[in-house]
Structure 1
Amino acid sequence: MKIRKVINNNVVSSQDDNGIEVIVMGKGIGFQKKTGDPIEPEKIDKVFHLSDENSSSFMQLVSDIPYEYIKLSGEIVDMISKDINIKMSKNICITLADHISFAIERQKKGIAFENDLLWEIKRYYKAEFQAGEKALEYIREKTGIVLPEDEAASIAMHILNAESNGQIRKSVNMPEMVKEILNIVKYTLMIDFDEDSISFERFVTHLKFFIQRAVTQKYYETDEQLILFNQVKDTCKEEFNCALKIKAYMEKKTNYKVSDEEILYLTMHINRVKRRSEQV
């Protein structure tokens, strides 16, 4: 392969044997190089294939991330893939590196971070969360930085996105389903969303994982939340009925059996966005 463009000392763009654009990474692979120079095979660490729609944004992202975090991310992805035996999009190496870089800088500055989906991730995606915990331990060993448990949930979310994106894209139109569910809430409760609010962002994130569970047919039936379920059903009647409409929509769309626990958390999220809309 030959260099098409030097992005930085550790990243260059090229083409594979089929003429598809690729990003090639390795320590010093672009140092004192120019367009047309051959790429030294022994310096190649990672090769990423680019699609037309993500080419420029992906290259920009890669150029902004310190190489040591990309290398660290690659090692973590390799470790996770072996541990939980999943097939993930190769691009997780870059998106995870970007997150790790930001998380470490945030921790160094003493900025607190709270992942509001921590409990949900721990409960529904135990293997991915445990992989996230192992990643935090690896980061500590390599950098000396101790990241909070909330970051394990964030890493788990990256894993979930990377392992499920292909399956979801083939099965459903995720953005369209999110939009339709939001419309159910909007027109059932007659509210306007504050789309810049944290509660709205959390709700959309919850919906994405909800849809993912439906597509992958992951079922969670427990009796632990029965008391809370009945309390919420009685105190948030409008939101609960709205959640039942979403249940009917989802079961028709995906043949997924929506559990009472799913309805409980849908109701709670709907209640939050409703209260936020009333404050605007």
Structure 2
Amino acid sequence: MKITRIINNNVVCAVNDRRQEMMLLGSGIGFQKKKGDDVDTVKIEKEFFLKSKNVSGKLYALLAQIPMEYIRVSDSIIQYAKQSLNKELNENIYLTLTDHINFAVARYKQGMNFNNALLSEIKAFYSNEFRVAMKARDMINEEFNITLPEDEAGFIALHIVNAELGSEMEETMKITQFIHKVLNIIRYQFNIHFNESSLHYSRLVTHLKFFAYRLFNNTVVKSGDSDFLHIIKEKYSQEYQCSLRIAQLIRVDYGKELTEDELVYLTVHIKRVIDEEKD
């Protein structure tokens, strides 16, 4: 492998025999090296092959400013998240999570702790991602000998959700707030307390998460069988009225209109979770 770029003493870019560019980490791997030199393969600790030139370019710029420990712990967290959640993650997380860890550690050392206003919602709506994020927080604490608060696990969970959806942090926070609003409408209309560990509650939240993603990206499901909507309106009239209230919220707050199919799916999910709460 030949070096194509020196990021710092511990990070270089190189091309392999198949002309693929990759990023290599290792203590001293770039020390006294220059473009065109052979890579000292003995010093390679981590190899990264990022498909996106935009992501890799920004990551190179970040790693030129911070120690390699940050990308190393970030990669460990990402691999753990992929394995635990059994999901692929958008590679942009290498940039966003590494940058966040760097910022979080710096803030901690300066005595600046940020409260996560969405922590309770994150725990409820993204319980699996939050569980992974708590492990990630422990990994960061151990690596840098610090004690980050639970709020930081909430921020990390959002980065994981971003990578699952392929969205930006601002959009993920918008989705989280949207789910909170919708669940409040259901909660107050039926005067119930959700069992957050139940299967149908989990399915409802998952539906709302991906529904909101489609909504904010203008890819809502198109209307299909209007006869089915008529059956749902008759059979689940209270739940359908609740869906109409949610549609009104979406119209007023987001300027979007729900299709008939979206109303049907939403009504069915509401019906399931309400029936479960009654049992």
The residue identity in structure 1 corresponding to 2:37 is: D
Amino-acid identity (%): 36
- Residue of structure 2 in register with 1:36 after alignment: 36
Displacement of 1:34 after TM fit? Answer: 1.0
Does residue 226 (structure 1) correspond to residue 188 (structure 2)? The answer is yes
Displacement of 1:123 after TM fit? Answer: 1.1
Q: Distance in 2 between matches of 1:54 and 1:26?
A: 21
Displacement of 1:55 after TM fit? Answer: 4.4
- Residue of structure 2 in register with 1:181 after alignment: none
- Residue of structure 1 in register with 2:236 after alignment: none
Displacement of 1:151 after TM fit? Answer: 0.6
- Residue of structure 1 in register with 2:6 after alignment: 6
Distance 1:141 1:18, change over 3 A: same
The residue identity in structure 1 corresponding to 2:144 is: T
The residue identity in structure 2 corresponding to 1:127 is: N
Per the alignment, in what secondary structure is the counterpart of residue 49 of structure 1?
coil
CA RMSD of aligned residues (A): 4.0
Per the alignment, in what secondary structure is the counterpart of residue 64 of structure 1?
coil
Q: Distance in 2 between matches of 1:8 and 1:27?
A: 10
Q: Indicate the larger mover: 61-70 or 105-114.
A: 61-70
The residue identity in structure 1 corresponding to 2:131 is: Q
Bigger CA radius of gyration = 2
Distance 1:250 1:139, change over 3 A: farther
Contact 1:26 1:46 in 2 (8 A): no
Displacement of 1:133 after TM fit? Answer: 0.9
Distance 1:254 1:93, change over 3 A: farther
Does residue 206 (structure 1) correspond to residue 173 (structure 2)? The answer is yes
Displacement of 1:258 after TM fit? Answer: 5.1
Q: Distance in 2 between matches of 1:131 and 1:112?
A: 21
TM normalised by structure 2 equals 0.62
TM normalised by structure 1 equals 0.62
Per the alignment, in what secondary structure is the counterpart of residue 120 of structure 1?
helix
* Residue in structure 2 matching 1:249, options 246, 252, 256: 256
Which runs of 5 or more structure 2 residues have no equivalent in the other structure?
Answer: 192-245, 271-279
Q: Distance in 1 between matches of 2:143 and 2:57?
A: 31
Contact 1:20 1:50 in 2 (8 A): no
Distance 1:254 1:248, change over 3 A: farther
Displacement of 1:247 after TM fit? Answer: 7.7
Displacement of 1:91 after TM fit? Answer: 4.4
String of CA shifts for 1:90-113, please: whole Å, max 9, x gaps: 442343122111101101111120
- Residue of structure 1 in register with 2:223 after alignment: none
Per the alignment, in what secondary structure is the counterpart of residue 116 of structure 1?
coil
1:103-114 matches, within 5 Å, as 103-114=104-115
Q: Matched residue pairs, number?
A: 214
1:1-280 matches, within 5 Å, as 1-44=1-44, 45-165=46-166, 204-208=171-175, 225-226=187-188, 241-245=248-252, 249=256, 251-252=258-259, 255=262, 257=265
String of CA shifts for 1:117-160, please: whole Å, max 9, x gaps: 22221111000011111111222233321111111111111111
Distance 1:209 1:13, change over 3 A: farther
Per the alignment, in what secondary structure is the counterpart of residue 5 of structure 1?
strand
Q: Indicate the larger mover: 27-36 or 81-90.
A: 81-90
Q: Distance in 1 between matches of 2:185 and 2:174?
A: 22
Contact 1:74 1:93 in 2 (8 A): yes
Contact 1:3 1:36 in 2 (8 A): yes
Which runs of 5 or more structure 1 residues have no equivalent in the other structure?
Answer: 169-173, 175-200, 214-219, 230-238, 263-280
Displacement of 1:244 after TM fit? Answer: 3.8
